[in-house]
Amino acid sequence: MAAMDRYAVIGHPVGHSLSPRIHALFAQSTGQPVTYTAIEAPLDGFAATVDHFRAQGGRGINVTVPFKLQACAYADEVSERARAAGAANALAFDADGRCRAENFDGVGLLRDLTHNLGLSLAGCRVLLLGAGGAARGVLQPLLQARPAVLLVANRSADKAHALVRDFQALGLGGPELAGAALSDLPAAGAFDLVINATAASLDAQALPLPRSVFAPDGLAYDMVYGKGLTPFLRQAREAGVARLADGLGMLVEQAADSFAWWRGMRPATDTVIAHLRTPLR
């Protein structure tokens, strides 16, 4: 049997991660000789854990909460995408000893929205909830899709405004990009796409959202995935939104981009999403 190339996802906690299952399905469908495991790094031991994995022949990793910023700092070379996101979710360890950092979260979200869910973002009114790392990570590809409006709304308005200013300073956002407080939303009108990038769903908390933000024929998207409806998706359904999606598609698409970056071939994702999908109720 050919030697296997080793990959892993590193996080804390990481036991819940679907990435090993996703990459096992990719390995099966492409015939690539890879193994992929989940490694929990101590909170103060990200770099040491990565060093150890590399010393054992590891070829690349995905990085999840809370290490995405540290992954950027760890790398020798940081892609433009990862720089804009301020974080990396994938590292590649080259034969010459260099480490490259990438971020596929935003492109994964975009591919899920446009390819899997059939949305055309050009000219849409988009509401992005949250102004932390998860929101920052997807802002650039969302802007590149040319929405008419991209409003970043956050519990603390200062953080939303600071994020918008950062992107405008980088030349990545124009007049379509604006910041707001969640408490401003009753006056903000309806949005074709509402994306939850806050950590509220992780804590099973609902956000204070007026029904009016949800256009009835729109799409509500929670970047979190899990079993069933998140509190945000439940709110959206109660507001009468036609279409709901969780972050499973985004997770599988970013995994496929990571796999393609490491292995030079992009696996099919539709069968993997269907395989892992539990009905949203």
Footprint on this chain of ligand ATR (rule: CB under 6 A): 130-135, 154-156, 159, 198-200, 205, 207
Based on CB atoms, which residue is closest to ligand ATR, 200 or 233? 200
Supply the minimum distance, in Å, between the C-beta of residue 152 and ligand ATR.
9
For helices 248-263 and 19-30, the axis angle rounded to 10 degrees is: 50
DSSP letter string over 119-160? ---TT-EEEEE--SHHHHHHHHHHHHT--SEEEEEESSHHHH
DSSP 113-125: IIIIS----TT-E
Q: Beta strands 99-102 and 90-93: pairing type?
A: antiparallel
Spatial strand order of the sheet with 34-40 comes to 34-40, 5-11, 58-63, 90-93, 99-102, 77-78
As measured in angstroms, the least distance from the Cβ of 202 to ligand ATR is: 7
Residue that has been written with the tokens 């997807």 in this structure: 138
Q: Between 198 and 269, whose beta carbon lies closer to ligand ATR?
A: 198
Q: Catalytic: which of 68, 100, 125, 263?
A: 68
Smallest gap from Cβ 59 to ligand ATR, in A, equals 26
227 is catalytic: no
Element (H, E) at 82: helix 80-85
Cβ-based nearer residue to ligand ATR, 206 or 242: 206
- Give the residue closest to ligand ATR by C-beta: 132
238 versus 270: smaller Cβ distance to ligand ATR: 238
**Contact of 233 with 256, CB cutoff 8 Å:** no
Q: Shortest CA distance to 137 belongs to which of 115, 107, 111, 114?
A: 107
Q: How far is the CB of 278 from ligand ATR (least distance, A)?
A: 22
Using DSSP, state whether 218 is helix, strand or coil.
strand
CB nearer to ligand ATR: pick between 134 and 229? 134
Q: Please tell me the distance from the alpha carbon of residue 168 to that of residue 66, in angstroms, as a whole number.
A: 26
Reading the block at residue 251, the tokens are 């997770």
- Least separation, in Å, of the C-beta of 136 and ligand ATR? 7
For residue 73, count other CB atoms closer than 10 A to its CB.
13
Smallest distance from the beta carbon of 114 to ligand ATR, in angstroms? Answer: 23
49 vs 198, beta carbon nearer ligand ATR: 198
Which residues are identified as catalytic?
Answer: 68
